[in-house]
Amino acid sequence: MATLTDEQSTQSHPTRTRSFGGCTTVTIAFPRSILVVRVPNYGTQCRSRHVKCDEGRPTCAMCRYFGFVCAGYEKGIFFDFESSTDERRFRRPLLTETERERMSQWLVSSVPPESALQFLTHLDDLCENAAPCRDLQVDCGPFGAFRLSQLPSVPSADIVPEETPDPSTSSPPEDVVRFDDDFTVPSEPPLTPRTQRILESIFGQAPNTPSPDTDTGDMAMDLCRNEAVLNDAPLSNFQDFPMTSMTAEHQPQYLQNTDLAQIPPPNPCFSLTTTSKTVPQEVMLLLKHYTTTVISLMTPIRHTKTPWHILFIPHAKTCLAALTLGEDLDNASLTAFYGTLAISAFSLSGLSQSQMWLAQGTAYKQQALKHAKLMLTTAYDIPKVSKYKSTMIALLTMVYVSMFSVDREQTEYFFLETERLIRLRGLKRKKSRKVRLLHHCYAFERFFYESTFTGGMNSQQRHYFRRSIESSGLAQYSRDDLSFRLRGWENLDQEMMEVKSQEDGENDLHLERPGIFSATLYPEIFGVPESWVQLLSLVIRLGREKDIAESHDLPNPLTLKDFSSRAKAIERRINNLERPSQAQLDEHVSNMLDAMRQALSIYFYRRVYDMEASMLQQKVIAVKDCLWRCAGPTVLHASAGFIWAAFIAACEAEDRELQMSFSKWFKDSAQRSGLSSFRETLARIERIWREKRCGNGISATWLNLMRMDASFMVG
C-alpha cells in the first residue's frame, strides 16, 4: 500500500483519501420496469451516480437505500506495466480488515517475534540439505516449504465422468483438441491438512475444490466460411457461404545465453482440455521467451515502446492474471493468450529440438483456433462482445501463429479477416495511437505477404471478403481500393511529395495513394520509412496489373503505354530512394534498410520486368553483405525486413559460394529463433537453386515456381 511522508504530503496538493468509484451496480431499462442485475466490471459505480459510497461490506448503504442489488467488490491483482502508474490507485487491500487481523493474530501466536528470523534460517538450511530428487514437506512454526515431483497420471475418484451426448441429437464438434494418453491432465493435488487448517482459521473454509467447469462448451457454428481454416481442413466452396450483413452476423539465463542444454522439457501434463480458466504450468517460461526472443522476429527496434511491449505482452499478462484469479475471459482474449503461447512453444521446440514443445505448441494453436472461431461469430454483433483492440490483437496473433507455423492457407484467411475488421470497425472511428499501432502491424506484414502472393486477386475467398465489405456500406471510409490494383496518376514524383491529411493517411490502409504522411508509425515500429513501404505497395500493384493484362481475368487492364510509363516512374523512385539520416539509426537498422532497399530493387526487376538473374548479382551480393554485418552468435536480428530481403535476394543468387552464404544465414537464424519458417523458406530457395543447376534456368524463379506449383509456398 502506497504511503506519503509528512514532508511529501505537505508539499503536494490535497487529495481525497477515499478516491475509489465505489461498488458496482448494473441497471438495465426495459419498458415500464427497471431490471437490476449483478454483473461485475460492466456496471455503474456509485460515483457515476453522484452518490457517496460508504464502501460497506457485503453491500453498501447507498445501494440498500435506493433498492439496487449491490455487486460489492472483487479482489483483483493488477500488473503495473508503466513506471508512471499512480500507485495510489491500487491501494485497496486484497483482504478485509477482519481477515488481516486473523492472519496477524495467528502469526504472532505461533512464533515469538524475536524468534521469527531463527525459524526462517532453520527452514532455509533444511531445504538446502534435502535430497533434490525427493518430495519435501518442511514446517518450522508457522512457516513451511514443500516440493512435489511430477504426479502420475492417475484417474481421480473425485472426477465425475462427462455425460456422453446422444449421437442421434448431436455430433462431436470438429474443433475440440484431442490428446493421447501421454497428455492426460492429472487432477489437482489436495491441500495438506496443515494448509487447510490455516485457510479455515482465516477464511472460515478451505478452497480445496477446483472451481466448476465453465468452458464455453461445444458451440454450434453458423458461419461456414470459418470452418475450413479454423478446423485445419481444406477450404470449402466459397460459393456456398452465406452473404449476410456483417453487422448482424517465463531460467531467463538460458534464454539470454542460448544454452540449449539448459532448456527444460515441457511438462506433458499441460492443461488445455479442461476449463478456459486453467493456467498452463509453463506459461511464465513461454511468456519470458516470447519477450526476450520472439519479439526480435517482429521488429528490429530495441526499445520498450513497440506494439508488442505496449499491447501484446501486457494483454497476455492481463489474461494470465485473470485466469489465475479464476475470472472468465472473452474469446478474443483467450485467442491472443493461447496464440502467444503457441508461438513461444514453437520457438522453444526448434531451440531444444524437443517434440514435446512442438506438440504443446500445436495444442496451443488448436486452442487458439477454437477460440478464434467462437470470437468471429460475434465480432460484428451490436452491442459489441469484445473491444476492438482485443479483437485486433487476437487476429494479429493468429496471423503470426500461421506465419511461424508456415501455414499459408491460414495466413491468408486471418489476413483477410483482419482487413475486414479494420475496414468495418476501425476506419470510421477516431483512431487512438494504440489502434494505429495495430493497423500498422497488420499492413506491414500484409505487404510482405502480398509481394509473394500469386494466387489471383479474384479468388473466391478474396471475392467473398470483398463483397462482405462492400455490402456493409462502410467501404466509403477506405481511401484505397479493396483489390490491390494500381490507381491512376500522372506524375508520380509530384504526387509522392504531396502531404496527406490525417484522415487520408490513416484510412489509406494499403498505401495506394502516393504522398507524405508525417504521422506515420512505420519508422517508430519497424525502423522503415513509409516511402519504402509506399514503393513496395506500388510495385505489388504494378505486378498485379501485369498479371491481369496477361490473364484477362479482370476488366480494364492497363495499356502498354500506361504500364511502361508507370513502371519507369516507380523504377526511378526506387533508384533515388532516400534513406534516413545516419545519425538517427543504429547499426543493425541501418544495415537492414540497405538490405531492404537493394531487395526492393531486385523485387521490382523480377516482378515487373522479369529480368535475367545475372544482371542482379551485384544487388544480391549487397544484400548478403548487409545481412552478415548484423549477424551475431547470440543476437537475433531477423525481423520481417531482414527475412523478406534475404528471400528475394537468395532466390536470384547464382554463384555457389553466394548460395552457401545465404543458406548459412537461414540456418543460423533458424537455430537462434527456433522457428521452422526459416528452414521451410530455405527449402524452397534450395529448390530454385536445383532447378537452375539441372535445367536451362528459364523458369527457375520464385515467381514462376509459385505460379506452376501450388505446393511452392513462401513461409
Give the span between the Cα atoms of 380 and 424, in whole angstroms. Answer: 8
pLDDT of residue 711: 56
pLDDT of residue 502: 93
Sheet containing 24-30: order of strands: 33-37, 24-30, 44-45
Cβ within 8 Å of residue 580, ≥6 positions away: 523, 529, 593
Give the span between the Cα atoms of 615 and 619, in whole angstroms. Answer: 9
Q: Is 0.75 surpassed by the pTM of this model?
A: no
Bridge partners, residue 29, by sequence: 34
8 A C-beta contact, residue 397 and residue 390 = no
- Cis check for the bond before 557: say yes or no (omega within 30 of 0): no
Helices then strands (H, E): number in the chain?
27, 5
For 528-565, letters b (16+ CB in 10 Å) and e give bbbbbbbbbbbbbbbbbbbbbeeeeebeebbeeeebee
pLDDT of residue 73: 64
Residue/partner pairs of 300-308 with CB below 8 Å, 24 or more apart: 300/526, 300/527, 300/588, 300/589, 300/592, 300/637, 300/639, 300/641, 300/642, 301/524, 301/525, 301/526, 301/527, 301/589, 302/586, 305/524, 306/525, 307/434, 307/437, 307/438, 307/440, 307/441, 307/525
| Residues in the chain where the model's pLDDT stays below 70 | 1-45, 47-51, 73-94, 133, 148-278, 280, 456-458, 582-584, 632-639, 695-699, 709-715
Give the span between the Cα atoms of 223 and 245, in whole angstroms. Answer: 12
- What tens digit of pLDDT does each residue of 674-712 get? 888 889 999 999 999 988 888 655 567 888 887 776 555
pLDDT of residue 441: 96
pLDDT of residue 71: 72
Can you tell me which residue has the cell 543493425?
Answer: 588
At residue 352, the 3 state secondary structure works out as helix
Can you tell me which residue has the cell 484510412?
Answer: 507
pLDDT of residue 425: 93
Give the span between the Cα atoms of 550 and 608, in whole angstroms. Answer: 12
CA nearest neighbour of 406 among 58, 680, 176:
680
Can you tell me which residue has the cell 480458466?
Answer: 277
The domain ranges of the chain are 6-98, 579-715
DSSP 58-118: SS-HHHHHHT---------------TT--GGGG-S-SS-HHHHHHHHHHHHHHS-GGGHHH
- What tens digit of pLDDT does each residue of 307-363 get? 999 999 999 999 999 998 888 999 999 999 999 999 999 999 988 888 999 999 999
Give the span between the Cα atoms of 553 and 539, in whole angstroms. Answer: 19
pLDDT of residue 638: 60
pLDDT of residue 604: 97
8 A C-beta contact, residue 641 and residue 526 = yes
Cβ within 8 Å of residue 314, ≥6 positions away: 79, 81
CA torsion 176→181→183→187, rounded to 10°? Answer: 100
pLDDT of residue 277: 46
- The crossing angle, in degrees rounded to 10, of helices 313-324 and 283-292 is 170
